[in-house]
Amino acid sequence: GVQQTPGDRLPRYVRVNTLKTTVEDVVDYMKRDGFTYRGQALRLEDLTLKDREFVKDLHLPELLVFSPKAHFHDHFLYKAGHIILQDKASCLPAHLLSPPPGSRVIDACAAPGNKTSHLAAVMKNQGRLFAFDLDAKRLATMSTLLLRAGVTCQQLANQDFLKVDPDSPQYQDVEYVLLDPSCSGSGMVCLRDNASTDKEKEKEEARLASLASFQLRCLNHGLRFPRLKRLVYSTCSVHSQENEEVVTACLQQNPGFRLVPLLAQWPERGLEPLSQCLRASTAKTRTHGFFVALLERCREGADARR
Ligand code: SAM
């Protein structure tokens, strides 16, 4: 039969697109559709669900959780853009960055745009959301996704983020940056780490080093926007080279920024000493492997005390 991967055992997460509907309306729709609503989850164990059951997530307010067997790709609410099929961990960056309506925001490596549409929902479609991606094909997919999701505050550009000029007048009021750059993808539970021979391991190390250097360049670049207040950095990697090590190097090079302690109730933290950051995994958070850091500019004059 069909091979079971660990991915098949992860809960099915459904993000409610608040640009089009409300959590209550989706809950009602699903109940009428034959699902049994078990209320608000209070513990991680509450995310272990039987076939037709669902709950509200315990950490993210716009997230519903279903059994691994539930499939929504053909569902009316998905096709109408009322729900977005997005792993719970990947909902963290926009939720934590939390740009207020009316603000100027950059999504640096945006395609296919799940986090962009989440940002737009948080911003209530008010303000300006500049989204960049190097890959034209992925950007085209993204435009379709954003249209379906009812996003209207975006400005898409097929552009290398590293070549975006932070001093250009159009970005002078940018206060928030979401940076989710290309990574090894080692957190995706369906991708196996196949490196077994010495030669393969060497190749994998070289690949990680090159990704980490790209990620650090993106991070440093993101911090160059003159009015920047907060930047969220995320990867779907489990390797510290792409996560804690990139953030540590960046903080050393940018003493005017510091880490914001994230969600005290989240069960998995960044590797010491970066416990302000979050990690995610199948075992501890019932998601794909993931990493999130939130950097903020230190208050004026606070620099000298560091
Ligand atoms: N944030 C996206 C989402 O939630 O749907 C996923 C982003 S994916 C991890 C990384 C993206 O970065 C890819 O689409 C890739 O094409 C893009 N990318 C890679 N290098 C880039 C660069 N220098 N400038 C802009 N985008 C880049």
The response to whether residue 221 sits with its C-beta less than 6 Å from ligand 1 reads no
Structural domain count, the chain: 2
The response to whether residue 162 sits with its C-beta less than 6 Å from ligand 1 reads yes
Q: Is 198 helix (H, G, I), strand (E, B) or coil?
A: helix
Residue 74's domain spans which residues?
A: 6-85
pLDDT per residue over 247-278, tens digit each?
Answer: 999 999 999 999 999 999 999 999 999 999 99
Rounded Cα distance between 181 and 219, Å, is 9
Check 236, 250, 277, 298 and give the catalytic one: 236
- The reply to whether 282 and 167 lie within a common domain is yes
CA Rg, the chain, in Å?
19
What percent of the chain has pLDDT above 90?
A: 90
The response to whether residue 93 sits with its C-beta less than 6 Å from ligand 1 reads no
The mean pLDDT value for 181-202 works out to: 84
Rounded Cα distance between 13 and 193, Å, is 25
> CA–CA distance from 2 to each of 5, 8, 104 (Å)?
9, 11, 46
The answer to whether position 206 is within a domain reads yes
Ligand 1 midpoint to CA 111 (Å)? 6
Q: Any idea what the CATH number is for the domain that residue 61 is in?
A: 3.30.70.1170
Domain boundary among 50, 85, 120: 85
- The reply to whether 58 and 168 lie within a common domain is no
In this predicted structure, what is the pLDDT of residue 7?
A: 55
ipTM: 0.99
Clarify whether 236 is annotated catalytic. Answer: yes
Rounded Cα distance between 131 and 106, Å, is 6
The response to whether residue 113 sits with its C-beta less than 6 Å from ligand 1 reads yes
Atom of ligand 1 at shortest range from CA of 183: 9
The answer to whether position 261 is within a domain reads yes
Rounded Cα distance between 161 and 270, Å, is 26
Q: What angle do CA 149, 154, 158 make, to 5 degrees?
A: 110
* Helices 136-148, 114-122: crossing angle, 10 deg rounding: 40
pLDDT per residue over 19-29, tens digit each?
Answer: 999 999 999 99
Q: Is the pLDDT of residue 196 over 80?
A: no
Quickly state the pLDDT bin for 6 (edges 50, 70, 90).
low
pLDDT per residue over 157-177, tens digit each?
Answer: 999 999 999 999 999 999 999
* pTM exceeds 0.90: yes
Q: Is the pLDDT of residue 3 over 60?
A: no
In this predicted structure, what is the pLDDT of residue 192?
A: 56
Quickly state the pLDDT bin for 304 (edges 50, 70, 90).
very low
87 is in an annotated binding site: no
**84 token code pair:** 């977005």
Rounded Cα distance between 113 and 117, Å, is 6
Ligand 1 midpoint to CA 183 (Å)? 9
The answer to whether position 27 is within a domain reads yes
Q: Indicate the Cα dihedral angle 74, 79, 80, 85, nearest 10°.
A: 90
- The reply to whether 225 and 136 lie within a common domain is yes
Q: Are 23 and 37 in contact (CB under 8 A)?
A: no
Q: Is the pLDDT of residue 53 over 60?
A: yes
- The reply to whether 120 and 16 lie within a common domain is no
- The reply to whether 95 and 77 lie within a common domain is no
The response to whether residue 161 sits with its C-beta less than 6 Å from ligand 1 reads yes
Domain boundary among 85, 113, 143: 85
The answer to whether position 299 is within a domain reads yes
Q: Any idea what the CATH number is for the domain that residue 165 is in?
A: 3.40.50.150
Give which of 91, 72, 90, 92 is closest to 82, Cα–Cα: 72
Q: Are 57 and 223 in contact (CB under 8 A)?
A: no
- The reply to whether 47 and 187 lie within a common domain is no
- The reply to whether 98 and 78 lie within a common domain is no
109 is in an annotated binding site: yes
- The reply to whether 80 and 94 lie within a common domain is no
Ligand 1 midpoint to CA 219 (Å)? 13
Domain boundary among 53, 85, 117: 85
The response to whether residue 235 sits with its C-beta less than 6 Å from ligand 1 reads no
Number of H helices, E strands in the chain: 8, 13
Atom of ligand 1 at shortest range from CA of 112: 5
Ligand 1 midpoint to CA 157 (Å)? 12
Quickly state the pLDDT bin for 301 (edges 50, 70, 90).
low
The residues near 78 (Cβ < 8 Å, ≥ 6 apart) are 72, 84, 85
- The reply to whether 129 and 195 lie within a common domain is yes
pLDDT per residue over 60-109, tens digit each?
Answer: 999 999 999 999 999 999 999 999 999 999 999 999 999 999 999 999 99
Q: Determine which helix (DSSP H) or strand (DSSP E) holds 44, and give its type and residue range.
A: none
In this predicted structure, what is the pLDDT of residue 299?
A: 81
Q: Is the pLDDT of residue 305 over 90?
A: no
The mean pLDDT value for 6-30 works out to: 93
Quickly state the pLDDT bin for 193 (edges 50, 70, 90).
low
- The reply to whether 182 and 50 lie within a common domain is no
The answer to whether position 1 is within a domain reads no
- The reply to whether 170 and 66 lie within a common domain is no
